[in-house]
């Protein structure tokens, strides 16, 4: 009974939250079919009917076993090897076999993965964003981790190539992940974290 209540709540929340999600993101709620499957990536690609351009990868450290014997794991979607920010599928297993899955994914046929902005420019844009957000913090006390990895970021009706720049200052005890559009340099989002 408790599991049915939880599953019903997930379905209702999925329907209610549909208007607040970017249009490129889609919701899924899957239940296992008669064929038993333990490989989450195969299960998701098959169930969601995605092209070979997509795959799903386990997010390290995100496994939880509950008191009912279910194991819950998180997976992120990739397009041609590029991680897609804001996609998050939760896989639910019992006795090693997938029982259900829910979360957000994209199913665009073609995604533009070109980018023009060099990483060095993205870092400077991210530092300027932090300096402007936190008044009186000079840019020369800010450190940026030079992460060369590019991501796909879902925003509004589009999917954009993005740098995720981690900018922080030990002196001022601030830090943010700044998402910089890898083509036009606009700030797509910023997430504050506690630097330790």
Q: What is the CATH number of the domain that holds 187?
A: 3.10.450
Residue 73, in any domain of the structure: yes
Judgement on whether residues 18 and 66 belong to the same structural domain of the protein: yes
100 and 39 in a common domain: yes
Q: What are the structure tokens assigned to 47, written together?
A: 């169930």
Q: How confident is the model at residue 10 (pLDDT cuts 50, 70, 90)?
A: low
pTM of the model: 0.79
pLDDT value of position 21: 42
Task: State the DSSP H helix or E strand holding residue 109, giving kind and residue range, or none if neither.
Answer: none
* pLDDT at site 34: 59
Whether 14 and 95 map to the same domain: the answer is yes
Average pLDDT over residues 40-57: 90
Comparing 3-7, 37-41, 42-46, 160-164, which segment has the lowest mean pLDDT?
Answer: 3-7
171 close to 141: Cβ distance less than 8 angstroms: yes
Residue 35 pLDDT grade (very low, low, confident, very high; cuts 50, 70, 90): low
Res 29: pLDDT: 78
Quote the pLDDT of residue 188.
93
- Residues 96 and 123 both lie in one domain: no
Do residues 92 and 144 share a domain? no
- How many folded domains does the chain comprise? 2
pLDDT tier at 6 (50, 70, 90 boundaries)? low
Q: What is the pLDDT of residue 19?
A: 41
| Domain span including residue 37 | 2-105
CA distances to 44, 146, 183 from 49, in Å: 8, 36, 30
Same domain, 14 and 99: yes
Do 141 and 101 fall into the same domain?
Answer: no
Instruction: Tell me phi and psi for residue 168, to 5 degrees.
Output: -150, 165
Out of 83, 105, 127, a domain closes at: 105
3-state secondary structure of 168: strand
Domain boundary residue among 74, 105, 136? 105
Nearest one of 178, 174, 179, 177 to 194, comparing CA atoms: 174
Residue 182: the pLDDT is 96
Cα Rg for the chain, rounded, in angstroms? Answer: 19
**Are 99 and 153 in a shared domain?**
no
Q: Assign 146 a pLDDT band (cuts: 50, 70, 90).
A: confident
**Residues 13, 43 share a domain:** yes
Residue 114 domain flag: no
Average pLDDT score over residue span 152-172: 88
Determine the average pLDDT of the residues in 48-60. 92
């Amino acid at each position: 009974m408790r599991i049915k209540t939880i599953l019903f709540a997930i379905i209702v929340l999925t329907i209610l939250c549909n208007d607040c999600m970017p249009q490129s993101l889609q919701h899924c709620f899957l239940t296992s079919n008669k064929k038993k499957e333990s490989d989450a990536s195969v299960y998701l690609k098959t169930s969601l009917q995605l092209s070979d351009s997509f795959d799903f990868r386990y997010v390290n450290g995100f496994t939880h076993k509950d008191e009912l014997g279910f194991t819950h794991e998180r997976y992120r979607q990739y397009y041609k090897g590029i991680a897609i920010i804001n996609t998050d599928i939760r896989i639910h297993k019992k006795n090693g076999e997938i029982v259900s899955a829910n979360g957000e994914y994209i199913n665009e046929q073609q995604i533009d993965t070109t980018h023009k902005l060099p990483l060095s420019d993205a870092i400077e844009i991210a530092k300027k964003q932090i300096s402007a957000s936190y008044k009186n913090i000079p840019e020369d006390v800010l450190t940026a981790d030079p992460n060369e990895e590019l991501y796909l970021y879902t925003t509004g009706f589009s999917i954009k190539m993005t740098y995720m720049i981690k900018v922080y200052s030990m002196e001022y005890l601030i830090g943010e992940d700044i998402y910089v559009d890898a083509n036009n340099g606009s700030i797509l989002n910023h997430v504050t974290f506690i630097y330790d």
